[in-house]
Structure 1
């Protein structure tokens, strides 16, 4: 694969530099084997050797954890211990949304809210199961009414695995998935060398260490560490391209893996009239249509890390990419296309500049001074307020999140499009002025990680600083 290796090495370098990612690691697989892996890192990023991180260094993979948990659930289904049509309350009487079925939870159609109640859990830390069960997780819609991504939903599925198996969810995954597939570098905590996660300042060559919080009962939503090579092994298995068919079939028969990857619900985050959609959700996996290429896999994001796994369902080719920046690197589309000889897709155009409309402070719900730029960690968003007092919160770049909020029973709720549809927006004020936004528990500030606000998980003791040899 040397002819591909040069192209992929160069593309990885350029992707890292364009995204200002401290470290970016990737791998591709074909025919049951990892056929290329590469690492690109800024000169200051340390590792096991003077040359920096290697392909053996693990990253936190965020929500790529979810399809692994889904496999553990499908194994329970295959054994007859549970059924996809079972209401979750039959097995977990204290679960939120007890009438939602296991299928609803796997497809993000349970109606549960996106995040866990309380401070921004990805930086602050997750709840125990008892805390989660008693926290009043909102059910925004009836089960099956619509797709709405839910991290608490996968915490519930992880708890289901624990209760039925009588063992911690990550031990179940190690015994039943990771070890049988040779994923020796994958675990709930790093099992070998690993990289540190950073926020990178959007306007300066400065970094900020991100905390690695204990997610506790929220772990099944996104706590796992892995390497791109291990993720490629998982991806090849998902589409039936593993080298050891007997071992792969023992984990889950190919027929059930294909059942897991059936598109079941459209992921229409843009909202009505928001443009075409290209993504659906199966049982714990994302199904994407990029031109003529259909892939299954998942993306992942937690503070300090992003990841992407894509497996071509026709060819069995797989790409996995992991990065050490909160702001992300994009996704694995270009690497997969380059590996398959289709060339590198053109960069998506940036978002147009957005003008701020006049503010009215409708009925006192929207205070004056809310419009303008806000930061979700280091990632810029733009708020506009229209003449009716509706708040439009949207990523300043292309392809990001965006939701329109309006007054609903005396509070701002997402009413159109995006990740935060149905979620609450709360304005945090100090001395009569807005200083932070709480959007579905995520903390937005006027400057990246403003230390003058109560940033969940705290801020780097060094503040925003120039990276040195040790980061």
Structure 2
């Protein structure tokens, strides 16, 4: 084991620089932790990105969720409610009122991924009253299967607010961030911060991304932070901190271990079981090469806990080795992302990465090759016969922001697939004319795909409220949250 004073800073910096260059992210910032302390920070940025420092904050997306989960577990520890209580016992008006608090925390409540309406991450969130009034459908019965739900964490944030009598982020500031010294974390930036961009997949151009107000959806992914703050949080969450009694006063170690224990396997088509979800926490198996550690074995599995995050303009990843407490956090200023923190974690252990298992961004990711194979399998047709044969105009290349997908048709189904590691789902004809419903595992399982027309011409796809266009942020399409005033431009 490398000692704290032997942290491979040069190698970590090299991994970060290669990550930025390979993904063309305007700026990436990272930190590493060991023995409960932040032992390294680094920033890699384009010359035109303004020279951010390790103190600059980025939006962290769904890494907000485990912090909200801590606030919920604190209330459980105080006896305000129990994990097996139905949420309706405490929020009678909540959607999925019969789902338990634990099911909401583990994404097994049966709620859809997103609230009703337009793509909320760009257009802005819903109020609590709007969420309640929208009559969200139940995709499956509670406890039936894992389905990532941002709405579920809006419900949990509301639970915290009602129980504490103040805003969820004020609760986190008083009960989590301040005790753990997370001075750069907040619902709005507390200091210097970077702008977020979409980076054009085929040109050296960017598109400014809006910073929308998420309202009641904030607990699903609105926070800003720095990698150093995230590393402090991650080591504490994995019980490898140096806070002692002060850390236990935030949440006892036994409760933190309960949060980071796997509760539901993330089951993806064509892929091994490499991920699970606890109570607001992702649990992953990463494979890294540690030369000489295990004779005649090239890689070793490393269980990590943490979370990943994505909102327009930003992606983030937090990983902590459960056994050693080594921790890494990395955040980038690009909608398209940069991958994950596996390479940094391997470098911290003095290893070189061999396999970086895909990070979970907004939910489980799919094996696009597996989905394609499934389309070619006899007997894969859904109800409605070969309905896809009548809609060839739907197929081809589509873009979710700058991220490219392909929509393929066969055997009566459609499959929306991306590059390896990019989420995808297979769709069968839906109940309403022209609609399709996700039927394979993946982020959009149970969600609806709808063609969007303008003047009788197909211009976009609405996939579980997300807007996909024929070109990145196509100017002829009304994109939720709007277009950059100057369009695609040089950084």
TM-score normalised by structure 1 residue count: 0.93
Q: Does 1:283 align with 2:306?
A: no
**Structure 1 residue 409: Cα displacement:** 2.0
Helix, strand or coil: the match of 1:64? helix
- Counterpart of 1:333? 342
Offset from partner CA, 1:346-384 (integer Å, 9 cap, x none): 578997798999xx9955896331111100000000010
Alignment of 1:180-329 (within 5 A): 180-268=179-267, 270-271=268-269, 274-291=270-287, 292-329=301-338
- Counterpart of 2:108? 109
Q: 1:299 touches 1:307 (CA, 8 Å); kept in 2?
A: yes
Alignment of 1:102-141 (within 5 A): 102-141=101-140
| Structure 1 residues 206 and 254: alpha-carbon distance in aligned structure 2, compared to 1, 3 A threshold | same
Helix, strand or coil: the match of 2:190? coil
Q: 1:436 touches 1:444 (CA, 8 Å); kept in 2?
A: yes
- Counterpart of 2:414? 391
Q: Distance in 2 between matches of 1:33 and 1:316?
A: 10
**Structure 1 residue 413: Cα displacement:** 0.2
Q: Distance in 2 between matches of 1:3 and 1:71?
A: 30
* Structure 1: gaps spanning 5 or more residues: 47-51
Helix, strand or coil: the match of 2:48? coil
| Structure 1 residues 224 and 348: alpha-carbon distance in aligned structure 2, compared to 1, 3 A threshold | closer
Of residues 459, 468, 476, the one that matches 1:444 is 468
Q: Distance in 2 between matches of 1:348 and 1:168?
A: 36
Q: Distance in 1 between matches of 2:337 and 2:468?
A: 17
Of residues 9, 12, 18, the one that matches 1:14 is 18
**Structure 1 residue 135: Cα displacement:** 1.1
Q: 1:301 touches 1:307 (CA, 8 Å); kept in 2?
A: yes
Helix, strand or coil: the match of 2:22? helix
Q: RMSD value over aligned CA atoms?
A: 2.0
| Structure 1 residues 361 and 449: alpha-carbon distance in aligned structure 2, compared to 1, 3 A threshold | farther
| Structure 1 residues 364 and 262: alpha-carbon distance in aligned structure 2, compared to 1, 3 A threshold | closer
Helix, strand or coil: the match of 2:49? coil
Q: Distance in 1 between matches of 2:128 and 2:208?
A: 28
Q: 2:342 touches 2:356 (CA, 8 Å); kept in 1?
A: no
- Counterpart of 2:361? none
**Structure 1 residue 451: Cα displacement:** 1.6
Helix, strand or coil: the match of 1:259? helix
Of residues 21, 27, 32, the one that matches 1:23 is 27
Q: Structure 1 stretches (4+) deviating beyond 6 angstroms?
A: 347-357
| Structure 1 residues 72 and 3: alpha-carbon distance in aligned structure 2, compared to 1, 3 A threshold | closer
Q: Distance in 2 between matches of 1:287 and 1:173?
A: 22
Q: Distance in 2 between matches of 1:417 and 1:89?
A: 28
Helix, strand or coil: the match of 1:344? strand
Q: 1:29 touches 1:317 (CA, 8 Å); kept in 2?
A: yes
Aligned length: 455
Offset from partner CA, 1:316-362 (integer Å, 9 cap, x none): 111000000000010001100111012122578997798999xx995
* Structure 2: gaps spanning 5 or more residues: 288-300, 359-366, 377-383
Q: Does 1:5 align with 2:9?
A: yes
Helix, strand or coil: the match of 2:352? coil
